[in-house]
Structures are given as structure tokens and as C-alpha cells.
A and B are shown apart, each in its own frame.
Chain A
Amino acid sequence: GENVEQHPSTLSVQEGDSAVIKCTYSDSASNYFPWYKQELGKGPQLIIDIRSNVGEKKDQRIAVTLNKTAKHFSLHITETQPEDSAVYFCAASDNREYGNKLVFGAGTILRVKS
């Protein structure tokens, strides 16, 4: 089955700097890669996703890149702000007719210091 590894487990950056979180996956059939942000005491919130037919996607200060050959994808946050502090999770799935079974990485705690 699919296995997703996420690095680093914790990341501290200064406000205004960029943050990069990286994930690798094992199943070449995976075709959907979302990123979630989770704040303390809340459910994960979808912040950006990418499908396998696209190499990069941007949404304001966040971007995701995908390298299918190397089986890794990354989240990039530019101009970080204190409110970006949270736990971030990557996930992968081979979206099929009977559902989108996500396999998650272990998470990255991002701390933005002001």
C-alpha cells in the first residue's frame, strides 16, 4: 500500500521568511496530493491540492510542486506570518470510483516567530 513520508517534523522560521515542507510517496498510481493545515483543537483544513497532470500550483502565498518521476511533492509558503503557525499534513491517494482514500504524512509543526 501507499506510504507517505514528511519532512521536517518541526520547522521554525522568522516572520517574512519562506517555509518549505517536503513529502515523498511510494505508490506510482497515486494521482492526487492535498495539503492540510490544522490549528490546535480543530479539524484539518484543505489549503491547496495538486493532481498528477500538473507540476505546480499556486494560490497567493502558498504553492505546491510535484515531481512524479521522483515521487515527491512540496509545499512552499512565502512571506510567512504568525497566523501560518500550525501543523501541516501532506497526503496522497489514487482517487478511484469507490472513494478517495487519503494516506497522510506524520505532519510538520510550523512555528513562525515574530
Chain B
Amino acid sequence: DAGITQSPRHKVTETGTPVTLRCHQTENHRYMYWYRQDPGHGLRLIHYSYGVKDTDKGEVSDGYSVSRSKTEDFLLTLESATSSQTSVYFCAISELYEQYFGPGTRLTVT
């Protein structure tokens, strides 16, 4: 998975609780992305980063925030989890065009 790890790999949480997912890369790539994958929707971009402390919104950013304090780490936070945020979350990295994905985190909000 191109030197990308995601943690945790699985998480079950309750509605209203905060959740933070971590993406770590060892490739020193400039760009990092968070996507969610839901049946019938493919993958949809939540937020992305184009450098340390430089982030921007994607297609489905409501209810999510991100932070990138180091090149290698990109955090996705759900401030108050809702059942609609039950999904599989993928981190990706890129330097130029090619984008490489991590193994994913399965999040269930009950």
C-alpha cells in the first residue's frame, strides 16, 4: 500500500462522540487526501492537504475537519459522529498525478 498506514482499521462508536482517524505515510509525498466509500457512490473526497497546515474542502466535507502538522500525518476528525458517517474511510497520497490509497478504516456509528 505504498507506505501508507491507517489507524484504527476498525472502530465502532456511538452517535455524538468525537472520532479521529489517522493516516501516516513514509513516502514524503506532498499531497494527502481523505475519501469515504459507500455502496453506489464510489469514493468521495472529504478533505485534502497540499502541504503542512494547508488543507481544503472536498465534495463531502460537512461534519469533518482535518489537520496536518507534519508531512507524514493527516488526521480526520468527526467532531460529533452521526449514523450517516458510518462508512469506510480511505487515505491517499500523491506527489504528481498518481494517487495511492491506504488499506482503509471501517467506521460504524451506532
Contact = CB atoms under 8 A, between A and B. Distances in A.
A100 B94 contact: yes
A102 to B, nearest CB: 6
Contacts, number: 66
A44 B101 contact: yes
Contacts of A1: 59
Interface stretch (B11-19, B36-44, B63-71, B74-82): B36-44
17 contacts: A36-B101, A43-B101, A44-B90, A46-B98, A49-B98, A91-B43, A97-B50, A98-B50, A99-B33, A100-B96, A100-B97, A100-B99, A101-B48, A102-B43, A102-B45, A102-B99, A104-B44
Contacts of A98: 50, 56
Q: Most chain-B Cβ atoms within 10 A of its Cβ — which of A44, A51, A98?
A: A44
B74 to A, nearest CB: 12
Interface of A: 1, 4, 6, 32, 34, 36, 42-46, 49, 51, 89, 91, 95, 97-107
A91 B98 CA distance: 12
A103 B59 contact: yes
A82 B48 CA distance: 35
Interface in B19-74: 31, 33, 40-45, 48-50, 56, 58-59
